[in-house]
Chain A
Amino acid sequence: MSTVTGKAAQTAKGPEGRATAKSPAAGPGASQGRQVRRKPLGRQNAAGWLFSTPFLVLFLVFMAFPILATLVMSFTDFGLRNVTHPLDAKFIGFENYVNLFGDEKFLRSLLNTGYFVVVGVPLTIVIGLVVAVLLNNGIDRARTFFRVGFYAPVVTTIVAVAVVWRFVLDPSDGLISGLFSEVGLTGPDFLGSEALAMPSMIAMAVWRNVGTVMVLFIAGLQAIPTEVREAARLDGAGVWAEFKGITVPLLRPTMLYATVITTIGYLNVFEEPFVMTQGGPSDSTLTVSLNMYREGFNFFHMGYASAMAYVLFVVIMAITVLQLRLLKDNTK
């Protein structure tokens, strides 16, 4: 692979980017350009393709091909031996997909992921919005300080953070159970309890992702023209009326974007359960991604895992489209 990319980079970096004939697609495009307009376009055509080549090669090999291959694999019994002999995999039609919907473990993981999204996304968005509004309107001093503080969890390595949270929630030595014992109570075993493991993970996800949403909302708030606010105040609008009548409607595009990316992120949740619970207790934190990883890389049921990946992908697309529709319609 390295040779292919190396070559692509070389071609693109070639002498003065003038190598018109080197790019296969430049030929027809260039002549077409010459017909309609004049020389500069022909040159730009060649350069355009040369500048695009490195990205396109990497994109085709490491993204487009795997995406299609996952689809093909999902209709086969791709297993461990096919890692060395991929073409020997047997075509089995929709069997993987049919099996998925009779697979209690998969349905459980789908449900768990849904739970994570349905509770986690609104919490993240609302808290992020509140923090952004407070930071933007309520204070002048120390704004940067607060913003850095709220954003810090976003950039830190999730595996390390999950290890820390495991300790914070530890029933014997943890911070939270310690606080319980201080008032004479016994703290619950957060990650060891079927009922509490997922909410604990949601709390951690909210903690970690509020910063992203906050920054998006701050940018959105700064784009609202001052005059609009001033006009509202002159009309005697109170703080709440201004928030409801101006801030929220004008932030709608930001809200849409924040909701969509948070939802997509949460639907793919993997690291948190992997490090904190390994999916337990009794599969209560087994997410679709973790389930897929296990089926694919622990048990080498790669065809089956591919079908899982595609079901998750379809769910993500469907929910994204639905969110775009719902939230766009609201603006009208």
Chain B
Amino acid sequence: MKELLVRRLSLPARTAGLLVTLGLAALADPPAPPPAPLPTLGAVAQEGIQVPKPPFSEGIFPCSSCHDGKSMKVNPQRRELTGMHGDIVLNHGPESRWCLDCHDPANRDRLRLASGERIGFDTSYQLCGQCHGDKFRDWRVGVHGKRTGSWNGAKQYLLCVNCHNPHSPRFQALKPMPPPTRPEQIQARKGGAR
């Protein structure tokens, strides 16, 4: 998924614009099948910031296909999840935080701000920004987080959750790419230095 995102982001800005249009068209007219293999961008969120789609696990959204409020009742009890979502490690202030602080109990396809206002997953940065106001401010002006595209034109942002797993937000360690060759390891080569 990460790979895909990165590749999607390196699309020239013009193509990206077109894709946004396609994405919006698909939203406005649900029965029309979206052009499946084309990478679609998410909504143009407020402030005109273009963001990609949130990185859901395969087949998990909409959440309401299980959490429909009928066959599965809301259980507000803090507990260890065993049946489903066992893969989620809550390493984001686990003492004070719990699923339903962010996920709306009544409508699981939405997130819930402290004010009670419900928002979509594609504007999840509003939720993050409630606590991380300084990062949010920097992100909005393009200083925290990654921007690609054009320095004097259309830019593509990432959502907070494209880099930080919301349940365990620390940036993942990476394997570094190869270091430079040490001088003593350079081999004389045909056509090389003479």
Please determine whether chains A and B interact with each other in the same assembly.
no
